[in-house]
Structure 1
Amino acid sequence: MTEPQTTAEEAGPSAERRTRAQLANQARALSEQADRYAVTLESLLSVLRSSRMNDRGARETATQIAATALVRLRTSTDEHQDPLEPVVGAFSRLKEDVQPLVRFGELDVEFVEPPANGRALPGDVAHAARAIVRNVLLVLVNAGEARRSRVHWDCDGLNLLINIRDDGRGETQPHDDVLRPVSEHVTALDGQMTVASTPGWGTEMSISIPLDPVSAPAPLGGLPELSEREREVLNELARGARNAEIARTLGVTEHTVKFHISKLLKKAGARNRAELISLMH
């Protein structure tokens, strides 16, 4: 008996969804590679600037860091995420990721281990949590104000709880551009982020990420109705404009632009701007 043939009309939407999912995965992979490159390059700079090492030791250490990064790149470990990661194992991978940066940089980082009996993390949550902490530590290193930082993971059974404290000037605000990649990542995961700064005492950042799977990015054509302003912001993003430029073009504040971008990310289920733009195309 001949099986019924699938018509082009029936196959079209399914093929389009697969294509958009592939684009979203590519955007995530590119974002992850950029994170790793940034950590590796900052680690190399920390080694070469270190006053605790002689020239020979610095060259040998820098070579080792670069070789390790190349091996990781070739094996692409995070491109094949495990469905579940024990929370302790996921935290250990985070420490391994930033170990050169912490060891040779000027920022002293204390890692507080999560409870060993905590709920296992979905692979995408563990992956995102490591990227978020790496980004925050890079912000602290680049600012050069903090000397100490404390990274703590915990789990309440429903959410992964990330707490990061530093002893910087205490002037960081939730809507600062340096935190944009972090806030967008958290928003796309349906998470919550609070930033509490005390001048002269430092900053505490608290992040909560749901452990239930986040829905895959939706085709932009299937999103809830976008407002005229959201479409304007989306078009500006597509041409590569930054927040300040979008604000000038549309005659609004940067805070308003960030608000609309957060709404677009949440509607699309995208984790960052690159993923959102890839879904547009």
Structure 2
Amino acid sequence: MTLELVPPDPGLRTRLLPSDIAHAARAVARGGVLLMLEQDGIGRIRLQWKLTGAGLLISLRDDGPGRLAADALTMHRLADRVASLGGAVSLDAVPGWGTHITVELPLTTRQALPADALHALNPRELQVLEQITEGHRNRNIAEALQISEHTVKYHVRNILEKLKVDSRGEAAALARGTRRPLV
């Protein structure tokens, strides 16, 4: 397997990226490569970073079977990581032609959640949020807290609304950014 790293465009070489964005971009690129390697028959992966007016564009393309699914667990993890940074990810998999993953990251990070924002959550929601930050799925959270999966989904929906975020990944990232222990 060959990993082709396209040199950055001149604009990226002359502009400094914020360190947190650069570290996140490296982690996202590594996660995307590992995601693509889950498929058999990959001969080459091409990785490129570009600056756009809105931020940093990461492009990953492989020559594999093109069977990577948008609903795969590892794709959800990558999408959650990107969403927690305020970015977006898209997947274009064409059977027989390969896969193309595009990630757009803003050049500024979101502000950390103020510690008092967690006061809006009740004790059970804090327990569920703690489980989310540890990467547990609904079934595992239900077992750990001895509640039903339906109840976990209810709490997750409330957490997302109260924290004004769109995904579990964003909620976890914001919770990790607080200085206050969750429970």
User: Residue in 1 aligned with 2:137?
Assistant: 242
User: Residue in 2 aligned with 1:280?
Assistant: 182
User: Does structure 2 conserve the Cα–Cα contact (< 8 Å) formed by 1:223 and 1:268?
Assistant: no
* Secondary structure in structure 1 of the residue aligned to 2:11: coil
Structure 2: distance between partners of 1:265 and 1:224? 20
Q: Deviations over 1:218-253 (max 9, x none)?
A: 43x4149569x966853653787435545894149x
One-letter identity of the residue aligned with 1:175? D
Q: CA RMSD in A?
A: 3.7
Structure 1 residues 111 and 192 mapped into 2: Cα distance closer, same or farther (>3 Å)? same
Higher RCO, 1 vs 2 (CA within 8 Å, ≥6 residues apart): 2
Structure 1: distance between partners of 2:53 and 2:119? 31
Structure 1 residues 188 and 199 mapped into 2: Cα distance closer, same or farther (>3 Å)? same
User: Residue in 2 aligned with 1:184?
Assistant: 80
Residue 168 of structure 1 and its aligned partner are, at CA, apart by 2.0
User: Residue in 1 aligned with 2:117?
Assistant: 222
Residue 183 of structure 1 and its aligned partner are, at CA, apart by 1.4
The structure where helix makes up a greater share of residues is 1
Q: Deviations over 1:132-188 (max 9, x none)?
A: 111122223344432211111100133000010112221222331122332122111
One-letter identity of the residue aligned with 1:250? E
The structure where strand makes up a greater share of residues is 2
Structure 1: distance between partners of 2:134 and 2:21? 30
* Secondary structure in structure 1 of the residue aligned to 2:101: strand
Structure 1: distance between partners of 2:142 and 2:98? 30
Q: Deviations over 1:183-218 (max 9, x none)?
A: 122111100111111122111111110002331244
User: Residue in 2 aligned with 1:263?
Assistant: 167
Whether 1:194 aligns to 2:96 is no
User: Residue in 1 aligned with 2:99?
Assistant: 203
User: Residue in 1 aligned with 2:62?
Assistant: 166
Structure 1 spans left out of the alignment, 5+ residues? 1-106
Query: Normalization by structure 1: what TM-score?
Result: 0.48
Structure 2 spans left out of the alignment, 5+ residues? none
User: Does structure 2 conserve the Cα–Cα contact (< 8 Å) formed by 1:111 and 1:150?
Assistant: yes
Structure number, greater radius of gyration: 1
User: Does structure 1 conserve the Cα–Cα contact (< 8 Å) formed by 2:142 and 2:149?
Assistant: yes
Query: Normalization by structure 2: what TM-score?
Result: 0.70
Structure 1: distance between partners of 2:112 and 2:167? 16
Structure 1: distance between partners of 2:92 and 2:104? 15
